[in-house]
Chain A
């Protein structure tokens, strides 16, 4: 049950687009379309942002989008805003009927 691999940090200027990658294996990310993404501000509980690779829950801005290719999933934030500065985590269902999270990516708005 190794953690999914995410970059430690990603940064961008307001209005720009950034992409966060999430790399697993064929036993998790590559084997299922059960990848979800979460946003977490300091001291707060995580917030549900994307489910089943590319679906947005109601209330989540359409500036957030998800995709997957092979064993790597990605979260793209377009039109970056100051409020997007937070930690982001991917998660996937696994072939062991467990779940695994990525190590997290700190997004900085320059």
Chain B
């Protein structure tokens, strides 16, 4: 069974940092891109970042570029999202999802259940 499990969310003060993890199982991790998408409370989905299967290519939304860093450890089947200089506008549920390398424009075919990040003093 395909599983993506996010962790690392929690309450953090403005200006601080947090690292999210996305642990994958049940499929060949190295044949997929991994994306992060966030959803503020009561709001819509917003794409955040993606990383290629080899970890070399990464892309970011303008709203997080320079503050967030995506990385992956293929030996651990895990993708990370480092969140720095957090503001209240970063408060959201963060989802990870996979996209097949063979069809990189296909869309996110499996999603995790999300991890909540709350930025507040």
A, B co-complexed: yes
Q: Do residues A51 and B47 form an inter-chain contact, with CB atoms below 8 A?
A: no
Q: Do residues A102 and B44 form an inter-chain contact, with CB atoms below 8 A?
A: yes
Q: Do residues A57 and B46 form an inter-chain contact, with CB atoms below 8 A?
A: no
Contact pattern, A 71-100, Cβ under 8 Å of B = 1, otherwise 0? 000000000000000010101010011111
Cβ 8 A contact of B113, one of A36, A45, A50, A104? A45
Q: Which of A47, A97, A100 has the most CB of B within 10 A?
A: A97
Residues of B contacting A104 in the complex (Cβ-Cβ under 8 angstroms): 44-45
Residues of B contacting A87 in the complex (Cβ-Cβ under 8 angstroms): 44
A98 to B59 alpha-carbon distance, docked (Å): 6
Given A3-B44, A99-B50, A104-B44, does the pair A48, B107 have CB atoms closer than 8 Å? yes
Cβ 8 A contact of B47, one of A47, A48, A91? A91
Q: Cβ of B95 < 8 Å from any Cβ of A?
A: yes
Given A46-B95, A98-B59, A101-B44, does the pair A93, B109 have CB atoms closer than 8 Å? no
Q: Do residues A48 and B44 form an inter-chain contact, with CB atoms below 8 A?
A: no
Q: Cβ of A64 < 8 Å from any Cβ of B?
A: no
Q: Do residues A99 and B44 form an inter-chain contact, with CB atoms below 8 A?
A: no
Residues of A contacting B110 in the complex (Cβ-Cβ under 8 angstroms): 48
Q: Do residues B46 and A48 form an inter-chain contact, with CB atoms below 8 A?
A: no
Q: Do residues A57 and B44 form an inter-chain contact, with CB atoms below 8 A?
A: no
Residues of B contacting A103 in the complex (Cβ-Cβ under 8 angstroms): 44
* A70 CB → nearest B CB, Å: 18
* Residues of A near any B CB (own CB < 8 A): 1, 3, 32-34, 36, 38, 40, 45-48, 50-52, 57, 87, 89, 91, 93, 96-104
Known contacts A36-B107, A52-B103, A101-B45, then 7 further A-B pairs from the complex at CB < 8 Å, ordered by chain A residue: A34-B107, A45-B113, A48-B111, A52-B105, A52-B107, A98-B61, A101-B44
* Residues of B near any A CB (own CB < 8 A): 35, 37, 44-47, 50, 59-63, 95, 103, 105-114
Of all A-B residue pairs in the complex, the 5 with the closest CB atoms, nearest first, are A36-B107, A34-B105, A104-B44, A99-B47, A45-B111
